[in-house]
């Protein structure tokens, strides 16, 4: 297992964004945490240090816990490609999809257990009785039993789920059941994600959050946004008509994007209206659906608008073995577009090796976009939506999973009831592109919604309540 560095970030940074009573509650909570956790360590274990929402949240939330002088550590487990193929299939099944598999067999279970046992062996001597361990997602579920035997308080935090269970979700839960049951508490992003067989008194709902001061969300001026996007070649300013592919443009920040960077060349002009989806290359994010929806239902009405689909450089996401395949499928769908539409659709792969460079580019893209979409077919929560809302963007999201908890239809964004209905999706995007006043009104309420409900102080307070409850 690898120990990930956690920097310390003072809670006081949040003071300017919170009402005085809310900030005081946070400071009281921090004092309570220090008392409760004196001499104990709070461990987090997940499957990757970068890429995806869990890593994103741990990077920022754990910095505040360190800032509050709570001894927090973050471990990333070791796994081989077969292990990650199995756990990605379990992940998909909890979202109701099996992607060509028929289920899980004895060999899958045995392999999962073997990898878990090798990781569990490393925890002896590290985790002590009384420590608290937060295990994230299916990849780590098999560590619960060992940790409970070591005397730790174990919380299994599941970031995924589906509102209605079906025979496919049942297969995933059958796989996980024996592994998760030794945990003392179970935390989900929505109440409907918890399987009925878990004891309700041990189940908690805690929604994710973002950090307004991370590189991903920090304020940028319009000039800074344009500078970042010009430097990496994600937009052009007309000065260089023979654009080289953006991966070749190593800007002054030293950002050198990997091969495959941006498919459509030239990139959009910096003044062109931009529609954006940022996601991992995961089938359930439906990047090809966004591409088709834009090409067929937005492009004909808005010949000036461009689409950017941005995701990680697929070679860099170790716990997501499907990434390469889904990227190839998107690329194939892009190649099939008519020339005119293809020139306005851009598939960008962003470097993951440099977390800060990635975050800065995503930040700039989200701030530059006129409309940010998240047209997932299923979604645990969807931090990409929270991030865009925080930046005051007009958003169009599918009314699925945690996305529907973030957007109040017509108030702080627009929802598509059926994410496979590309005509409705396209018409909502087109409506927003045509109405800057509506975009501004939705965007400013979206930012306020995030400030109210999805910042780290609420999240940390809920964790401390849970820790207190574990001790009672």
301 conformational bin, left if phi > 0, alpha if psi -120 to 50, beta if neither: alpha
How near is the Cβ of 379 to ligand UDP at its closest, in Å?
A: 7
- Across the beta sheet with 394-398, the strand order is 345-350, 306-312, 274-278, 371-374, 394-398, 414-416
Closer residue to ligand UDP in complex, CB, 52/142: 52
| Separation CA 167–CA 145 (nearest Å) | 26
How near is the Cβ of 447 to ligand UDP at its closest, in Å?
A: 17
How near is the Cβ of 419 to ligand UDP at its closest, in Å?
A: 15
3-state secondary structure of 394: strand
Closer residue to ligand UDP in complex, CB, 178/329: 329
How near is the Cβ of 223 to ligand UDP at its closest, in Å?
A: 22
How near is the Cβ of 400 to ligand UDP at its closest, in Å?
A: 12
Q: How far is CA 415 from the centre of its chain?
A: 19
Closer residue to ligand UDP in complex, CB, 327/467: 327
Q: Which residues bind ligand UDP (CB under 6 A)?
A: 52-54, 56, 216, 278-280, 310-312, 350, 358, 362, 381-384, 387
Element housing 403 (H / E): helix 403-406
User: Which ranges in 318-401 belong to alpha helices (H)?
Assistant: 323-335, 339-342, 355-368, 383-390
| Separation CA 43–CA 30 (nearest Å) | 17
Running DSSP on this structure, what letter comes out for residue 417? S
Tally the residues of the chain.
Answer: 472
How near is the Cβ of 317 to ligand UDP at its closest, in Å?
A: 9
Closer residue to ligand UDP in complex, CB, 67/402: 402
| Separation CA 268–CA 262 (nearest Å) | 11
Task: Decide if 218 contacts 391 (C-beta within 8 A).
Answer: no
Residue with tokens 């700039």: 364
Closer residue to ligand UDP in complex, CB, 58/147: 58
How near is the Cβ of 388 to ligand UDP at its closest, in Å?
A: 9
How near is the Cβ of 187 to ligand UDP at its closest, in Å?
A: 15
Residue 398 β-bridge partners: 416
- Count the Cβ atoms, other than its own, within 10 Å of residue 366: 24
Task: Decide if 287 contacts 301 (C-beta within 8 A).
Answer: no
| Separation CA 350–CA 278 (nearest Å) | 10
Closer residue to ligand UDP in complex, CB, 120/450: 450
Half-sphere CA count of 71, side-chain side, radius 13 A: 11
Element housing 231 (H / E): helix 222-231
Closer residue to ligand UDP in complex, CB, 71/329: 329
How near is the Cβ of 303 to ligand UDP at its closest, in Å?
A: 28
Closer residue to ligand UDP in complex, CB, 42/362: 362
How near is the Cβ of 311 to ligand UDP at its closest, in Å?
A: 5
Closer residue to ligand UDP in complex, CB, 431/458: 458
Distances 48 to 77, 322, 438 between C-alpha atoms, Å: 8, 15, 39
- Count the Cβ atoms, other than its own, within 10 Å of residue 173: 18
- Count the Cβ atoms, other than its own, within 10 Å of residue 356: 12
Closer residue to ligand UDP in complex, CB, 184/283: 283
Number of H helices, E strands in the chain: 17, 13
Task: Decide if 20 contacts 12 (C-beta within 8 A).
Answer: no
How near is the Cβ of 365 to ligand UDP at its closest, in Å?
A: 9
Closer residue to ligand UDP in complex, CB, 298/314: 314
Closer residue to ligand UDP in complex, CB, 91/184: 91
Q: Which residue is nearest to ligand UDP (CB)?
A: 53
How near is the Cβ of 109 to ligand UDP at its closest, in Å?
A: 25
Running DSSP on this structure, what letter comes out for residue 268? P
Residue 158 β-bridge partners: 188
């Amino acid at each position: 297992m690898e120990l990930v560095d956690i920097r310390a970030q003072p809670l006081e940074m949040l003071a300017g964004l919170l009402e005085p009573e809310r900030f005081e509650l946070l400071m009281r909570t921090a004092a309570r945490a220090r008392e409760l956790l004196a001499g104990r360590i709070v461990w987090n274990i997940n499957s990757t240090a970068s890429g995806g929402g869990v890593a994103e949240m741990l990077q920022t939330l754990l910095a505040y816990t360190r800032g509050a002088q709570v001894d927090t550590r973050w471990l990333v487990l070791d796994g081989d490609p077969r292990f990650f193929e199995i756990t990605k299939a379990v992940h998909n099944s909890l979202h109701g999809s099996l992607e060509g598999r028929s289920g899980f067999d004895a060999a899958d279970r045995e392999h999962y257990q073997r990898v878990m046992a090798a990781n569990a062996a490393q925890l002896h001597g590290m985790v002590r009785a009384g420590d608290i361990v937060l295990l994230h997602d299916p990849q780590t579920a098999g560590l619960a039993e060992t940790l409970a035997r070591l005397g730790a308080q174990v919380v299994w935090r599941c970031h995924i789920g589906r509102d209605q269970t079906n025979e496919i979700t049942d297969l995933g839960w059958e796989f996980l059941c024996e592994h998760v049951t030794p945990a003392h508490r179970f935390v989900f992003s929505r109440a409907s994600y918890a399987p009925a067989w878990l004891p309700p008194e041990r189940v908690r709902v805690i929604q994710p959050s973002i950090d307004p001061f991370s590189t991903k969300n920090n304020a940028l001026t319009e000039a800074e946004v344009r500078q970042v996007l010009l430097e990496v070649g994600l937009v052009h300013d007309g000065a260089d008509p023979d654009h080289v592919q953006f991966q070749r443009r190593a800007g002054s920040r030293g950002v050198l994007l990997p091969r495959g960077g941006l498919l459509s060349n030239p990139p959009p002009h910096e003044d062109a209206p931009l529609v954006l989806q940022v996601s991992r290359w995961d089938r359930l994010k439906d990047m090809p659906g966004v591409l088709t929806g834009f090409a067929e239902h937005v492009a004909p009405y808005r010949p000036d608008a461009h689409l950017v689909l941005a995701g990680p450089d697929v070679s860099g996401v170790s716990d997501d073995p499907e990434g390469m395949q889904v990227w190839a499928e998107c690329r194939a769908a892009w190649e099939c577009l008519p020339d005119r539409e293809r020139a306005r659709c851009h598939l960008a792969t962003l470097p993951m090796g440099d977390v800060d460079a990635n975050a800065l580019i995503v930040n700039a893209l989200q701030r530059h976009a006129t409309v940010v979409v998240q047209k997932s077919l299923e979604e645990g929560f969807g931090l990409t939506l929270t991030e865009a809302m925080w930046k005051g963007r007009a958003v169009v999201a599918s009314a699925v999973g945690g996305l529907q908890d973030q957007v109040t239809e017509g108030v702080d964004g627009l929802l598509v009831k059926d994410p496979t209905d590309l005509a409705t999706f396209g018409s909502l995007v087109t409506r927003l592109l045509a109405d800057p006043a509506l975009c501004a009104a939705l965007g400013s309420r979206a930012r306020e919604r995030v400030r109210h409900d999805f910042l780290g102080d609420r999240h940390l307070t809920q964790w401390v309540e849970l820790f207190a409850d574990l001790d009672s």
